[in-house]
Amino acid sequence: MKFLALLALLFLSASAEKSRFDNYRVYSVTVENYQQLQAIQYLEEHSDAYNIFESPHLNADTEILVPPHKFSDFEELTENLGMKAKLIINNYQELIDEEIKPSRTPRVDAQYDWVSYKNLNEINAWLDQMAAQYSSVASVRNIGTTIQGRPIRLFKISKKSGNRGIFVEANIHAREWISSATATYLINELLTSTNPDIVDISTNIDWYIITNANPDGFVFSWDSNRNWRKTRAPVSALCFGVDPNRNFAYNWLTPDETGSLGASTSPCTDTYAGPSPLSENETRAIESVFADNAGKFDVFLSFHSYGHYLLTAWGHTRVPPADNSMLQTVGNAFRTALQAVNGINYAVGPTNTVLYAASGASPDHAYGHHGIKLAYTLEMRGNGNYGNYGFVLPPQFIIPNAQEVIAGLVGLVRSARTFGYLN
């Protein structure tokens, strides 16, 4: 009995252990031919050692996390394939350690800020506090519960009746911390800013914001594995997690013209689409916001990182959407306004042609199923002239990233209004 208790204790302490990435490297590889593409796709589907940050596609760069015990294999692989590989991060653990360093010393008078990343408890406490402090215009409510029992929360801002709405969903991918930090910054600006452009968009538009669309995954990325992307649903004897951004119903698990599924049927992969459309509590919670507010939203935004992209429908097909030219014009307004702040240049266009095939993503669902015309995915900062950090963007970039994104949104709203939306 004693032995069993000891064994249980050992197991427990092992599961509370954090994954470490000491001396792991991130390489950027350029995929230039079909053979190279197939090789990287094979790794993505079958290798537990490598982590492919971004699904590969032809004539584009893909970032890959390589553990030390694979350095020589990886070198041989890229050499044999004649594939260019550039080292962009030399020690992933070092970045992770730096990321949570600033001002984590608990202070009694601790004010919420955007100098450091906040964990789920801190974010939730702040949302409660803001809803209480601005109770005449703001509220927060639960729209669902995760498999581990955490609430999925929707923050609403409405300063006058009759407003059209913008729906923002952030951090559906657990490791993309900058997305929820930007969402809380946006809430703070909408409630406190005196800048006339912000006052305009906060007064004349209703905002529905989910800062943390994947709470279980987010907590897991803090406590256990900084690199975690999916939910934490047990999906097979071996693996956990559905990619919630492959689990939406519109053209779920549908191949495009090139045969690419843009998702996976293997539970252990990072783009596992789940057993059926909307099988997950997280996606059903988001779906309930669409359903309960039919006709309310002109704009849907899905906050992600990284890559400096503003992506439109479609992800599941290479055929351009019916509203392509409007989506491009409104997207370009976002891009120009964002670039004016810190010089960052976003690429705007359909997901499938600009990035890669992705079926079952929320913007396709918003646009295709719910008819929300201006549906976009934002891929925020990660690698740029400010450094190469991928998902582990140091906290000193939270504010510049949020400021440029909000300027972009002001530009987007202005342009959307010329098409008759958000008025």
245 interacts with ligand 0X9 by CB under 6 A: yes
Number of residues that bind ligand 0X9 (CB under 6 A): 14
Instruction: Report the C-alpha gap between 358 and 342 in whole angstroms.
Output: 30
One-letter amino acid identity for 129? Q
Task: Compute the least distance from the CB of residue 286 to ligand 0X9, in Å.
Answer: 14
Task: Compute the least distance from the CB of residue 312 to ligand 0X9, in Å.
Answer: 7
373 interacts with Zn ion by CB under 5 A: no
Provide the mask over 7-46, with x wherever binding to ligand 0X9 is found by CB under 6 A and - wherever it is not.
----------------------------------------
Is residue 327 helix, strand or coil?
Answer: helix
65 interacts with ligand 0X9 by CB under 6 A: no
Provide the mask over 129-168, with x wherever binding to Zn ion is found by CB under 5 A and - wherever it is not.
----------------------------------------
Interacting residue with ligand 0X9 among 127, 187, 358, 422 (CB under 6 A): 358
Which is closer to Zn ion, CB of 329 or CB of 388? 388
What element of type H or E holds 52?
strand 51-52
Interacting residue with ligand 0X9 among 70, 118, 173, 230 (CB under 6 A): 173
Number of residues that bind Zn ion (CB under 5 A): 3
Which is closer to ligand 0X9, CB of 184 or CB of 377? 377
Greatest pairwise CA separation for the chain in angstroms: 73
Give 337's contacts (C-beta < 8 A, 6+ positions apart): 407, 408, 410, 411, 412, 414
Instruction: Report the C-alpha gap between 37 and 413 in whole angstroms.
Output: 38
Give 135's contacts (C-beta < 8 A, 6+ positions apart): none
181 interacts with ligand 0X9 by CB under 6 A: no
Task: Compute the least distance from the CB of residue 238 to ligand 0X9, in Å.
Answer: 22
Residues 305-334 that bind ligand 0X9 (CB under 6 A): 311, 315
Asked if 416 and 343 touch (Cβ cutoff 8 Å), the reply is no
Task: Compute the least distance from the CB of residue 173 to Zn ion, in Å.
Answer: 3
DSSP designation for 58 = T
Instruction: Report the C-alpha gap between 352 and 288 in whole angstroms.
Output: 26
365 interacts with ligand 0X9 by CB under 6 A: no
Q: What angle do CA 350, 397, 116 make, to 5 degrees?
A: 120
Asked if 44 and 86 touch (Cβ cutoff 8 Å), the reply is no
Q: What residue 410 binds from Zn ion, ligand 0X9, none (CB within 5 to 8 A, per partner kind)?
A: none
Give 320's contacts (C-beta < 8 A, 6+ positions apart): 314, 350
Which is closer to Zn ion, CB of 178 or CB of 409? 178
Which is closer to ligand 0X9, CB of 40 or CB of 157? 40
Interacting residue with Zn ion among 153, 173, 175, 365 (CB under 5 A): 173
256 interacts with ligand 0X9 by CB under 6 A: no
Query: Which amino acids are annotated catalytic?
Result: 379
Asked if 88 and 27 touch (Cβ cutoff 8 Å), the reply is yes
Which is closer to ligand 0X9, CB of 158 or CB of 377? 377
308 interacts with Zn ion by CB under 5 A: no
Q: Contact region for Zn ion (CB under 5 A) — 112-120, 233-241, 269-277, 303-311?
A: 303-311
Sign of CA dihedral 143, 145, 146, 149: positive
Q: Is the peptide bond before 314 cis (omega within 30 degrees of 0)?
A: yes
304 interacts with Zn ion by CB under 5 A: yes
Question: In terms of DSSP bridges, do strands 138-145 and 151-157 run parallel, antiparallel, or are they unpaired?
Answer: antiparallel
344 interacts with ligand 0X9 by CB under 6 A: no
Give 45's contacts (C-beta < 8 A, 6+ positions apart): 264, 266, 269
Task: Compute the least distance from the CB of residue 240 to Zn ion, in Å.
Answer: 18
Residue identified by tokens 């974010």 is 123
Instruction: Report the C-alpha gap between 25 and 74 in whole angstroms.
Output: 11
Instruction: Report the C-alpha gap between 132 and 134 in whole angstroms.
Output: 6
377 interacts with ligand 0X9 by CB under 6 A: yes
Task: Compute the least distance from the CB of residue 262 to ligand 0X9, in Å.
Answer: 8
351 interacts with ligand 0X9 by CB under 6 A: yes
Which is closer to ligand 0X9, CB of 144 or CB of 363? 363
CA-nearest of 209, 190, 316 to 258 is: 316
What element of type H or E holds 378?
strand 374-380
Is residue 25 helix, strand or coil?
Answer: strand
Residues interacting with ligand 0X9, by CB under 6 A?
Answer: 54, 173, 176, 245, 304, 311, 315, 351, 358, 361, 363-364, 377, 379
Residues interacting with Zn ion, by CB under 5 A?
Answer: 173, 176, 304
